[in-house]
Chains A and B, each alone.
Chain A
Amino acid sequence: MNASLVLQWVIKSIIIILVLTGGFAYVTLYERKVLARMQVRIGPNRAGPAGLLQPIADAFKLIFKETFTPAKADKWIYPLAPLLTVIPALIITAVIPWGPPVTIGGKTFTLSLADINTGALYLLTVTSISVYGVTLAGWSSNNKYSMLGGLRATAQMISYELALGMSYLGPILLAGSLSITSIVNSQQHLWNVVLQPIGAIIYMIASIAEVNRSPFDMPEAEQELTAGYLTEYASMKFAMFYMAEYIKMIAVSMIGASLFLGGFWGPGVASIPWLGPIYLFIKVALLLFGFIWIRATLPRIRYDRLMSFGWKVLFPLSVLNVMITAGVILLVGG
């Protein structure tokens, strides 16, 4: 372990965190703009040219809000819960490659932070840990709406995690590796979405449920639960939950693009490696557009239907998909 390698890791980590937090700010604007256009409105256009400074204005507003702690909230866990939500969201993309190796000044660098041989398992591990923030936020607020929202979110996330994990198995079987870089490289000529259409659809549905986005945003159903586990949070603590939600959206889009849409591969990447991150960015932006489109289109589904859909439709379907994929690979010889 030499110093230059450590320096490389530190720089890459800083890049990931800056891209994700900057991405969060502009995904909020992207969402508001797209939603507005879909609802025949204009959207935010006052702060800066075409509303481009709106996220900065929002950030300043949230920073100057009063930090308020409810009287009987748990004094340790209440402030810890937003952190436990943000940290998994920030670290989950560490195993995703952004591009093929590039050469700068005669030295070759890999464009990924950690190309570990258990990358796909790492994604599942971080997903399973990310549930705690929401659960504990609901419990520690000492509010029955928060509590119900937290319980709902927990039940929903652990139910859809199964189908999510199963949908990873298709690309893993096709690539014969748990490393995300190998999975991406196996799609250089043919994207996995062609070979794994059911897996890709299961991944999309389960990931929407996993990040609690509409139409699966039951934990925040305002008619029934005011704002669910977010009810008692204000100021920067609220901003952290908000940030986690959008960073998770970016993260699941990056994972989806890497597992099913060929990651950074696209025409010309083999000769010009710097096109890799640009292709990945375009794919992530398109998937995010899909998320927003779904939010603008579909109404929230009922909670019992959400659970029975997850357990009785999505999970068996994902198991069946894995069995068929494994059988075909065994017969064809993968």
Chain B
Amino acid sequence: MTAELILFLIVALTAIGAAVAMLMSRNTVYSALFLILNFLAVAVFYLILGAPFIALAQITVYAGAIMILFLFVIMMLGAERLKELDPVKWQRPAAIAITLALAAEGTYIVFSKLNPSYVVESFSGNLADPVSIGTLLFDKYALPFEVTSLILLAAVIGAVVLSKAEKKESEQ
């Protein structure tokens, strides 16, 4: 067993454990913290794969910026404690049924379409160097990059419009 494999196993178990704990926890603050732990474990995967830029971006954006907003909203609304019983009775059986269907579908596709001739095109770019990532983003993947920025802009404008409309109604 190489050192890298041991490291991979530790990080993988942490990621899975954190994901399961996030689902099981009845306290939403704990759930949010387990999700952060999961994101950190995923960042370590990126580091193992030799992509430090993506690893650090993953921590900054997901574990840092997005999750702090989740925590902030949970704390501001005082929604730490989930009720012991589900408010919607059929939610749990429905969730189990849908999850099983999805798992069965995935398994079927993997085993039916699995043939050695179908190979996912491996990525040839250099992910270790920020300069080459930047060049790739603005050169080869310029269109997806710009589309993503437009989607984000639309989301920002949407948030502004929603908060404005609420203000007007409260004034009336």
Contact = CB atoms under 8 A, between A and B. Distances in A.
Interface of A: 74, 77, 116-118, 121-122, 124-125, 128-129, 131-132, 135-136, 138-139, 147, 150-151, 154-155, 158, 177-178
Contact of A132 (B53, B68, B128): B68
8 contacts: A116-B52, A117-B130, A118-B56, A125-B56, A128-B68, A132-B36, A135-B71, A136-B29
B71 to A, nearest CB: 6
B75 interface: yes
A218 to B, nearest CB: 16
Contacts of B76: 151
A24 to B, nearest CB: 24
A117 B52 contact: yes
B29 A118 contact: no
Interface string B53-78: 10011011001110011011001100
A158 B73 CA distance: 14
B129 interface: yes
Given A135-B68, A139-B29, A122 B56 contact: yes
A246 B101 CA distance: 55
Main secondary structure of the interface of B (DSSP, over half): helix
Interface of B: 29, 33, 36, 52-53, 56-57, 59-60, 63-65, 68-69, 71-72, 75-76, 80, 128-131
Nearest to A178: B130
Contacts, number: 65
A141 to B, nearest CB: 12
A117 B127 CA distance: 12
A6 to B, nearest CB: 12
Nearest to A147: B75
B31 to A, nearest CB: 13
Contact of A128 (B65, B75, B80, B128): B65
A116 to B, nearest CB: 7
A77 B32 CA distance: 12
A142 to B, nearest CB: 11
A125 B57 CA distance: 7
* The 9 nearest A-B residue pairs measured at CB: A128-B64, A121-B56, A125-B60, A125-B56, A125-B59, A128-B60, A178-B130, A118-B52, A118-B53
B64 A131 contact: yes
B119 to A, nearest CB: 31
Contacts of B80: 139
Interface centre among A118, A122, A154 (most CB of B within 10 A): A118
A225 to B, nearest CB: 15
A124 B130 CA distance: 15
Contacts of A155: 72
A53 B130 CA distance: 47
A125 B52 contact: no
A151 B75 CA distance: 8
Interface centre among B29, B36, B56, B128 (most CB of A within 10 A): B56
Contact of A139 (B36, B59, B68, B75): B75
Contacts of A139: 29, 71, 75, 80
